[in-house]
C-alpha cells in the first residue's frame, strides 16, 4: 500500500539560476519567495535536495590528467611518431643496436617531459586546495561555518569585512557594506552595496544589490541570499567559456608537424631514388630494401626530441623560480612566440591600492607625494622643484591631520607587514599621514572624536567632530560639489581668504581629467557644540578649505621596466580596463603605450 509523502515545494532550476531571473530587479520579498527561502535559512532536507539538484558550488574546470595520461602525452609529437616507426622497422630488420638507441631516446624524452608536467600538475592542484574558503551561513535557524563549495541557492550567507563572497548573492541586509569587485569590473574603488531593486537592464558592474563570487568585502556587514552557484555565477560563466573552448595548437607543435612532414617526404623521396638506382645496378631486392630502411633510419634526427625537451625543461625550471607554474612544456615556447600582451590594469599593471599622489592647496601650490600603496614609504615635494618651507609643511600637516581624524579605516605595520581595513580612500589618507610623519593613533588620542557623520554615497561626504583644547572642531572630507557649500573661506600661504569656488572647481576638473579621483579637505569650529548627539550637516557652516587631494591607483614599481623590455623584444602591450577613460589614459601615458584615445 502506497503512502503519499508530504510535498515540499522546491525552487525550480529555472528560477534559481541567475541566468534566468534578474535577481537585482526583484524586491527582497520576491527573492525569498522565488528561492523558497526564509530569514532562518534552509533546513537540512532542503540543502540535501538542492545540493543533489544543483551540485557543488565549484567553478567548472577540466578534469586533471592522470599520471598515465601525462606519460602518454609525451608520445603525441609528430617527430616521436616517426621515431617509433623507425625503431620498429629497425627492429624488424634485425638492427637491434639502432632500434635500442631510438627507443632509449624516446623513453628519455618521455621521462623528462613526464617529470616536469606531473610536478606542475601537482603544484596547480595544491594551489587550488589552498584557495578553498569557508562561508558563514544561517541554516536551521542557527549560524554555521561550512565549506563554500557546499552552498546551494537559497542559503542565507553572512558577510563582514575581510570575507570573500562565496557565491553570487542578492543582498537583503547591508550596513555600510562595500565590496572590491576589481577582478570582475576593473573598478579599483570598492562598490557600495544597497538593497533597492535595480532596473532589469542594469549591467553587471552597476548592480548595487548583488555580490559576486570571488569578490572581497572591504567594509561593513551584509546578509545575502545565494542566487547562483558554481558555473552559473558571473565568474563561473567566464570559467566555463574558457574550459569549453579548445585552445589553438602551440606554434612549436605546428612547426614540428610541418618539419615531420618535410622530413618524411624528403627521406621517402631519397629512399626511393636510392632503391631505383640500386635496382638498375643489379643489386638484389632484399639488399635494396635493407639499404633503403637503413638510410631512412639514419636520416631521422633521433636527438632532436630530447634536445628540445631538455631546453623547454630548463626554461620551465627558470620560470618556476619566478613562481610561475608551467603545466605544458610547449607553453614555454608559446609564450616566447607572443607578439601582443593584453594586460588587465587594476591589480596587474597597478597595485590596486588608491594612493594620494597630488595635493593642490588654495593659491595654486601643487605638492607631489611619492610612493605607492598602503605604507609609509614616500615623501612630499613641490611640483615646481622649490623646497618645502615650515609654513607649507604646517599646511600639509594640517590637511593630513584632518584626513586622519575624519577616517574610519585602519593601517598598521604588524610584524613587518602593513595591514589595513576599511575604505580605500580612507586607508590612502592614513598612508598620507604616515608619510608626513603623523601617527594616526596618536592624533586620535590627542584629538578625541566626539561625533561623526559617516560617509554615504547620496551625501558624498563624511564629517567628524573632535575635541581640541576644550573646543569642538570639525573635520570634513568628500566630493568637491558636496563639501564646498559648507565652506566660506580657504587657507592660503598668507591667511584665510574668501572662498573662490569657481577656481577650486576648475582645479578639481583639471585633476579629474588627468585621471585623479578628487576629494576636498576642510575644517573649522563647530557652529553649535551644545548637543553632539544631534550632530548633522546643519552644524557644518563657515568651514575653511584646506586643499584638494588627488588619488590614483599607481603603477607597480616593476611595470615600467617590464613594458619597456617587452617593447624592445618586439611585443606590443595593450591595456584592458573597465575604469574611467581619463584614469586609464593617465596610466597608459605613464607607461608610454598610448598618447590619445
- Catalytic annotation, residues: 344
Q: Give the DSSP letter string of 141-209.
A: TEEEEEEGGG--TT-EEEEETTPBP-SEEEEEEEEEEEEE-HHHH--SSPEEP--S---TT--GGG-TT
Q: Rounded to the nearest 5°, which phi and psi values hold at 356?
A: -75, 120
CA distance 22 to 16: 10
C-alpha cell of 286? 632484399
Residue with cell 580605500: 424
Q: Does residue 292 contact residue 89 with C-beta atoms inside 8 Å?
A: no
For 554, the 3-state DSSP assignment is coil
Q: Does residue 519 contact residue 407 with C-beta atoms inside 8 Å?
A: no
**DSSP code at position 555:** B
Q: Work out the angle between the directed axes of helices 78-92 and 96-130 (0-180°, nearest 10).
A: 150
Please enumerate in sequence order all residues whose Cβ is within 8 A of that of 180, keeping only pairs 6 or more positions apart, or say none. Answer: 190, 191, 215, 216, 217, 218
Q: Does residue 150 contact residue 314 with C-beta atoms inside 8 Å?
A: no
C-alpha cell of 175? 550596513
335: part of which helix (H) or strand (E)? helix 330-336
Sign of CA dihedral 293, 296, 301, 306: negative
CA dihedral 445, 451, 454, 459 (to 10 degrees): -130
CA distance 333 to 234: 32
Q: Exposed, middle or buried by CB within 10 Å (0-12, 13-18, 19+), for 52?
A: exposed
For 337, the 3-state DSSP assignment is coil
CA distance 496 to 479: 21
CA dihedral 148, 151, 157, 161 (to 10 degrees): 10
Query: 72-87 burial, b if ≥16 CB within 10 A, otherwise e?
Result: ebbeebbbbebbeebb
CA 448 from centroid of its chain's CA atoms: 38
C-alpha cell of 109? 624524452
CA distance 59 to 167: 10
CA angle 505, 511, 516 (to 5 degrees): 125
For 496, the 3-state DSSP assignment is strand
Q: Where are the alpha helices (DSSP H) in 18-95?
A: 28-35, 44-54, 67-73, 78-92
Residue with cell 626530441: 305
Amino acid at each position: 500500500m502506497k503512502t503519499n509523502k508530504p510535498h515540499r515545494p522546491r525552487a525550480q532550476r529555472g528560477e534559481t539560476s541567475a541566468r534566468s531571473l534578474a535577481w537585482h530587479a526583484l524586491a527582497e520579498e520576491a527573492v525569498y519567495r522565488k528561492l523558497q527561502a526564509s530569514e532562518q535559512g534552509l533546513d537540512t532536507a532542503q540543502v540535501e535536495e538542492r545540493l543533489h539538484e544543483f551540485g557543488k558550488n565549484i567553478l567548472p574546470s577540466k578534469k586533471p590528467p592522470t599520471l598515465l595520461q601525462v606519460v602518454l602525452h609525451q608520445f603525441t609529437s609528430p617527430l616521436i611518431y616517426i621515431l617509433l616507426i623507425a625503431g620498429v622497422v629497425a627492429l624488424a630488420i634485425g638492427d637491434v643496436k639502432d632500434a635500442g638507441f631510438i627507443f632509449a631516446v624516446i623513453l628519455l624524452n618521455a621521462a623528462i617531459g613526464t617529470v616536469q608536467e606531473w610536478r606542475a600538475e601537482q603544484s596547480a592542484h595544491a594551489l587550488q586546495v589552498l584557495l578553498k574558503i569557508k562561508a558563514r551561513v544561517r541554516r536551521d535557524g542557527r549560524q554555521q561555518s561550512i565549506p563554500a563549495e557546499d552552498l546551494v541557492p537559497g542559503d542565507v550567507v553572512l558577510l563582514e569585512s575581510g570575507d570573500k563572497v562565496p557565491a553570487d548573492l542578492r543582498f537583503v541586509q547591508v550596513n555600510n557594506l562595500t565590496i572590491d569587485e576589481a577582478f570582475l569590473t576593473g573598478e579599483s574603488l570598492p562598490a557600495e552595496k544597497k538593497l533597492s531593486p535595480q532596473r532589469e537592464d542594469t549591467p553587471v558592474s552597476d548592480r548595487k544589490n548583488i555580490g559576486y563570487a570571488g569578490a572581497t568585502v572591504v567594509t561593513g556587514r551584509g546578509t545575502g541570499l545565494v542566487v547562483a552557484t558554481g558555473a552559473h555565477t558571473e565568474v563561473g560563466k567566464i570559467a566555463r567559456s574558457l574550459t569549453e573552448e579548445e585552445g589553438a595548437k602551440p606554434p612549436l607543435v605546428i612547426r614540428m608537424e610541418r618539419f615531420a612532414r618535410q622530413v618524411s617526404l624528403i627521406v621517402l623521396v631519397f629512399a626511393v631514388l636510392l632503391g631505383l638506382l640500386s635496382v638498375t645496378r643489379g643489386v638484389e631486392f632484399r639488399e635494396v630494401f635493407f639499404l633503403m630502411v637503413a638510410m631512412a633510419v639514419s636520416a631521422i634526427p633521433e636527438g632532436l626530441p630530447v634536445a628540445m625537451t631538455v631546453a623547454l625543461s630548463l626554461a620551465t625550471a627558470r620560470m618556476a623560480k619566478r613562481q610561475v607554474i608551467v603545466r605544458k612544456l610547449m607553453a614555454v615556447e608559446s609564450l616566447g612566440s607572443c607578439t601582443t600582451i593584453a594586460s588587465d590594469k587594476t591589480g596587474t599593471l597597478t597595485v590596486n591600492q588608491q594612493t594620494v599622489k597630488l595635493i593642490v592647496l588654495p593659491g595654486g601650490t601643487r605638492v607631489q607625494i611619492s610612493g605607492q600603496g598602503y605604507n609609509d614609504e614616500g615623501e612630499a615635494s613641490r611640483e615646481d622643484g622649490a623646497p618645502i618651507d615650515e609654513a607649507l609643511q604646517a599646511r600639509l600637516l594640517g590637511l593630513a591631520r584632518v584626513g586622519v581624524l575624519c577616517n574610519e579605516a585602519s593601517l598598521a605595520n604588524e610584524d613587518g607587514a602593513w595591514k589595513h581595513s576599511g575604505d580605500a580612500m580612507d586607508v590612502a589618507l592614513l598612508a598620507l599621514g604616515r608619510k608626513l610623519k603623523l601617527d594616526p593613533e596618536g592624533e586620535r588620542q590627542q584629538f578625541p572624536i566626539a561625533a561623526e557623520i559617516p560617509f554615504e554615497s547620496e551625501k558624498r561626504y563624511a564629517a567628524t567632530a573632535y575635541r581640541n583644547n576644550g573646543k569642538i572642531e570639525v573635520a570634513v572630507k568628500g566630493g568637491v560639489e558636496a563639501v564646498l557649500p559648507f565652506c566660506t573661506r580657504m587657507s592660503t600661504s598668507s591667511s584665510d581668504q574668501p572662498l573662490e569656488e569657481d577656481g577650486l572647481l576648475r582645479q578639481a576638473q583639471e585633476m579629474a581629467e588627468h585621471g585623479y579621483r578628487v576629494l576636498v579637505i576642510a575644517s573649522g569650529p563647530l557652529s553649535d557644540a551644545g548637543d553632539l548627539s544631534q550632530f548633522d550637516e546643519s552644524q557644518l557652516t563657515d568651514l575653511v578649505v584646506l586643499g584638494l587631494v588627488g588619488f590614483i591607483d599607481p603603477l607597480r614599481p616593476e611595470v615600467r621596466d617590464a613594458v619597456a623590455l617587452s617593447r624592445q623584444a618586439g611585443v606590443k602591450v595593450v591595456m584592458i580596463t573597465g575604469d574611467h577613460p581619463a584614469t586609464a589614459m593617465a596610466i597608459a601615458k605613464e607607461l608610454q603605450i598610448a598618447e590619445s584615445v
